Amino acid sequence: MAAPIAAPPANLQGKSDQPNFILGSAFLGTKSFNILQILHISPSLHNLRIRHIFMTSEFERRNPYSEELKRTAAYIAQPGKGILASDESNATTGKRLATVGLDNTEANRQAWRELLYSAPGLGNYISGTIMFEETLFQSTRDGVQFVDILKKQGIVPGIKVDTGLQPIDGTDGETATQGLDGLGERCRRYYAQGARFAKWRAVIKVDSEKHPSSTSILENAHGLARYAQIAQANGLVPIVEPEVTLGPGDYSIERTAYISEKVNSHVFRFLNEYNIILEGILLKPNMILPGLDVPTPPPEEVAKYTLRTMMRSVPGAVPGIHFLSGGMSEEEATLNLNALQAYGPTPWSLTFSYGRALQSSTLKIWSGKEENWKAAQERLVALARANSEAQLGKYTGPHPSPGGTRILQTLRLGGAGK
């Protein structure tokens, strides 16, 4: 039987300058305490005095964008939609354009992004688009700003804010992400231009033995947290991207799961240390895949390990987990996303933030030719639709771009634009 509710201590009864303890009880060991011992109450309920007990951080309480950040994140993470990642740097975009015989000029980069953003019906399946800095300030051939083209379709403009990877001294090819210097001022400028979310990519090298090092994990977790704090302070929802990158080797899917869980746990510890508003972020992790020298696992196996990793390491307050396509083929990315939905409701939306998996065959169809413009846009929308269906667990095929193989992604080191 529970102990009776304790009476107020005799030395406090009837004194107007001390708290009285009433209404309800809590138990600690063998002692019974009234729950409103936490509250400062005067003897008369007509003269109630409550000591403010804040359950949010000073950063959240004083941030004028707090509610906007939460609304934006929830909107982007809505069911049936995902993110088009088109934030490739000028150098990376140039390499992609070269595969279809196009020079890396501003005019060609502008035309390629216009094709993507102006695709009719894209907003039915895409809720946000990540852009590179040059692209954020560009316009269509008719003089309409890209951000306005996107917003007209209900797509939130976003911006890549990191400035590239640099080697960590004393490690075997591990990297840290640069870009914190001047980030606050840049975020304010991007917000004024219409961006409402940001992206910062951290790359974690994995193998079957020694990688990643604790140095790499801690350095990248810190960078992600500090970036997220600066972004939220300036009105941008931060996409937090701790990518355990798909690379060469025979490491197992269990190894990737273990490392990804460890990395995510460190990242969220740092996010909490920096008082990040978790309802106002989005997570962009890797799916759980083995090394490139291991046969491609079936979607059901990828989904099992991916969901287990997320459940163990990602707080339920986060609205959306937007998986990157990494080195997966276009079809593999869709099938794996669809398989993730078979496990029933989750605390977060399990959706996509795909770049190559939405653009690769689209670019090949266009190849810089005006007569291919409409067909390329139709391919982009078909790929977006397939992944929208996959996010809802309703994808049945056939895929717009079937087949394909996983690709080793080359990491580009250097500063901005690399």
Pair 233, 281: CB distance under 8 Å: no
Distance of CA 354 to the CA centre of its chain: 11
Pair 110, 154: CB distance under 8 Å: no
Helix ranges (DSSP H) in 314-372: 330-340, 356-366
End-to-end Cα, the chain, rounded Å? 69
DSSP 36: G
Phi, psi of 127 (to 5 degrees): -105, -15
Q: For 145-156, b where at least 16 C-beta lie within 10 A, e where not — what string?
A: bbbebbeebebb
- For residue 82, the cross-strand partners are 126
Region of residue 143 (left: phi > 0; alpha: psi -120 to 50; beta: else): left
Helices (H) and strands (E) in the chain, counts: 13, 12
- CA angle (414 as vertex; 412, 416 as ends), nearest 5: 105
Strands (E), 43-150: 82-86, 126-131
Q: Could you list the active site residues?
A: 241, 284
Taking only Cα atoms into account, the Rg of the chain, rounded to an integer number of angstroms, comes to 25
Other CB atoms within 10 A of residue 408 CB:
10
The burial class, CB within 10 Å (0-12 / 13-18 / 19+), for 195 is: buried
